[in-house]
Amino acid sequence: MNKSYPILLILFFMQTAIFAQLPPVFDANDEKRASHSEMIRTYLTPTRIVWKSDDSGNHIKNENTLLEKGNGQVAVNDQNLFRLISTKDHKPGIMLDYGKEIHGGVKISMGIRPSKTPMKLRIRFGESVSEAMSDIGGKFNATNEHSLRDFIVEVPWLGSVEIGETGFRFLRIDVVEADENAPIKSIEAAFVYRDLEYVGSFESSNKRLDDIWMTGAYTVHLNMQNYLWDGIKRDRLVWVGDMHPEVMTINSVFGSNSIVPKSLDLARDQHPLPQWMNTISSYSMWWLLIHKDWYNYHGDLAYLKEQETYMIDLLDQLSTFIDKDNKEILNGGRFLDWPTSTDPKAVHAGLQAMMIMTFEAGSEMMETLGKKDLCKKYEKIAKNLKKHTPEGNTSKQAASLMVLADLAKAKEINVDVLKKNGVENMSTFYGYYILEAMAKADDYQGAINVISEYWGGMLDLGATTFWEDFNIAEGKISGRIDELPRQNVADIHTDFGAFCYVGLRHSLAHGWASGPTAWLTQYVLGVHVSDGGNTVTIKPHLGDLEFVNGTFPTKFGVLKISHTQDAKGKVTTKIDAPEGLKVKQ
């Protein structure tokens, strides 16, 4: 754990079959297509065959050749190719598993057949087996929204076609017309990702936590496309509130990356005041909070100064939505997360807390910018907002924000609300803030247990990326996403969901769910950054872990940390810090 890991080595370390195919370095002979941009395209062979429509051998032949790594080039003398043979009564299909959720499409290479007319194949991408088996519409709500995942394509005689741009792990291909004989050399996934090093790392005596840390990191990495998206199948948009946990994960794993300011600037320019970002007032507040954290981690004063005018105007606009009793009265979309959206008391409590946090952040940033009068102005507004305490909220999400805004006592809320009924009524988005509130209550072991049970519950169902939403009670009665549905067993992807994520519309790779990655780095590895990234304070909380090792990206280089805990709970720490970084313990 004492060096920066390139992404391909990190993914190899995870011992995931898909990435065993990837070379550890890139040279001219690799099957990557690289330009001067940061994006890479890599071609992957399937890891297994999940399903086929025919076991007789009459309609599907030589299917195991699809699992063999090839050269991607068709030839006139190719022998023993995979074949799909259709009749009037049977149009064969097959489903492939690429081992891990990826972003991209598929490259299909066809050999020689009697007809030179392009052959029609139906392509169905899926984040789950159920989705790849589905039809558009119906009670399971499969869609082609945001990205096409179910369509017909023509494949040329003795040639290749590359199609699709979505999030998927599974691919189903069916012959569309009768009396066809398709000799297919390969069906490769075209994996498109940003070429980054996983500079940050986390390794402990609990492999489940390690896998959760990496899964959160990988989920965000997939969503770092042209901009920082929230989902690679659905919600391929810049949602500013959703960005906050993603940015905290980027800070912990990749360090400073241009995609964050690029996405923040897009949101600013797309929503000139008095518009709220994404039409949601809290998302405009998240924009300010992200800027505060981004500066604290990286210290880019020039970039912060670029935001000064918009920032001040936005803070002044927010100040007009406070009544005489210091209660927020925000208009526009009043939203925290989907599970709280039908609870007005929870929404108000959360927005009141967010207003406090936002004006405190505004005061801090004005001080950094040398605006002393505005620093005092926004500090006073924050103090006045604390004079109003929302009542009647029982949601974990809003309660956690109240703790973080010092509107409620952390230890009391932790016992009375956050730990009530275990991990029931959690949300993948606000789970990060629930964990932060538990840390403020000094319940680090409780938070570690929540991570293991809730986010680990997704891993138990076959997740390789974290989901838009997860209900632990539904998970306990459901089958895995990488298996065919079973009779009398619930399907976690088709049978559940609410709001915008009913059934198969549910995204299974959503960056807002990555909170444990940032939290484990902050509170277990113990890395707290301040002073524009110049200072790191190390305060580990190992709970019942025997050891934790990790790295962290700083503006000066890679910080290397190791902690060991003896039987009496004494923690011994070793630190290797880059020159220029101030480290406190």
Q: What pLDDT is attached to residue 37?
A: 58
CB 331, CB 382: distance < 8 Å: no
Q: Which H or E element spans position 203?
A: strand 201-204
What angle is formed at CA 437 by the lines to CA 433 and CA 440, rounded to 5 degrees?
140
- Chain CA centroid to CA 348, Å: 27
Q: Are residues 173 and 205 in the same domain?
A: no
Check whether residue 136 and residue 237 sit in a common domain. no
DSSP summary character for residue 414: I
- Looking at the fold, whether 276 and 316 belong to one and the same domain comes out as yes
Domain boundary among 148, 166, 194: 194
pLDDT reported for residue 4: 42
Write down how long the chain is: 585
In this structure, what CATH number is given to the domain that contains residue 214?
1.50.10.10
∠ CA(308), CA(311), CA(317), 5° rounding?
140
DSSP symbols for 311-372: HHHHHHHHHTSB-TTS-B---SB--S-GGGTT-HHHHHHHHHHHHHHHHHHHHHHHHHTT-H
Same domain, yes or no, for 87 and 214? no
Query: Is 254 inside any structural domain?
Result: yes
The answer to whether 525 touches 548, Cβ cutoff 8 Å, is yes
Which pLDDT score is estimated for 95? 98
Q: CB 29: neighbour CB atoms within 10 A?
A: 7
The DSSP element (H or E) to which 181 belongs, if any, is: strand 181-194
- Look at residues 141, 160, 194 and tell me which one is the last residue of a structural domain: 194
Q: Are residues 243 and 107 in the same domain?
A: no
Instruction: Report the pLDDT value the prediction gives residue 14, as an integer from 0 to 100.
Output: 40
Does a structural domain hold residue 249?
yes
Nearest in space to 480 (alpha carbons), one of 463, 464, 461, 503? 461
Averaged pLDDT, groups of 10, the chain, 585 residues long = 41 38 34 56 97 96 96 90 97 98 98 94 98 96 96 96 97 97 96 97 98 98 97 96 98 98 98 98 98 98 98 98 98 96 97 98 98 98 98 95 98 97 96 98 98 98 98 97 96 97 97 98 98 98 98 98 97 98 97
Domain match, 333 and 381 both:
yes
Residue 544 lies in a domain: no
Confidence (pLDDT) at 67: 98
Sole residue written with tokens 């991990």: 423
At residue 551, the 3 state secondary structure works out as: strand
pLDDT of residue 32: 44
Helix (H) or strand (E) holding 186: strand 181-194
Contact 478/491 with Cβ under 8 angstroms?
A: yes
The residue among 133, 163, 194 that closes a domain is: 194
CA distance 41 to 23: 13
Q: Does residue 173 contact residue 121 with C-beta atoms inside 8 Å?
A: yes
Residue 563 within a domain: no
Is there a domain that residue 426 lies in? yes
What radius of gyration do the chain's Cα atoms show? 25
CATH at residue 58:
2.60.120.260
**CA 69, CA 46: separation in Å to the nearest integer?**
9
Give yes or no: residues 297 and 320 share one domain: yes
Distance CA 443, CA 454 (A): 16
> Quick one: pLDDT at residue 554?
98
Do residues 168 and 101 make contact, with C-beta atoms less than 8 angstroms apart?
A: yes
Instruction: State the number of CA atoms in the 13 A half-sphere of 458 facing the CB.
Output: 33
Q: What pLDDT score does 3 carry?
A: 40
- Using CA atoms, how far residue 121 sits from 94, 158, 465, in Å, is 11, 15, 28
What pLDDT score was predicted for residue 2?
41
Task: Report the Cα–Cα distance between both ends of the chain, in Å, rounded.
Answer: 20
CB count, 10 Å around CB of 365? 24
* Structural domain that includes position 180: 39-194
pLDDT of amino acid 9 = 37
Residue 559 domain flag: no
Question: Is 324 in the same domain as 392?
Answer: yes
> Quick one: 67 and 174 in the same domain?
yes
Q: Are residues 51 and 133 in the same domain?
A: yes
Residue 550 belongs to some domain of the structure = no
Please give, one letter per residue, the 3-state secondary structure of 508-533.
CCEHHHCHHHHHHHHHHCCEEEEHHH
**Per-residue pLDDT at 10:** 41
Q: How many domains does the chain have?
A: 2
Question: Strands 490-491, 478-479: parallel, antiparallel or unpaired by DSSP?
Answer: parallel
Where on the phi/psi map is residue 69: left (φ > 0), alpha (ψ -120 to 50), or beta? beta
Answer yes or no: is 69 within a domain: yes
**Residues 208, 189 within the same domain:** no
- On whether both 413 and 515 belong to a single domain, the answer is yes
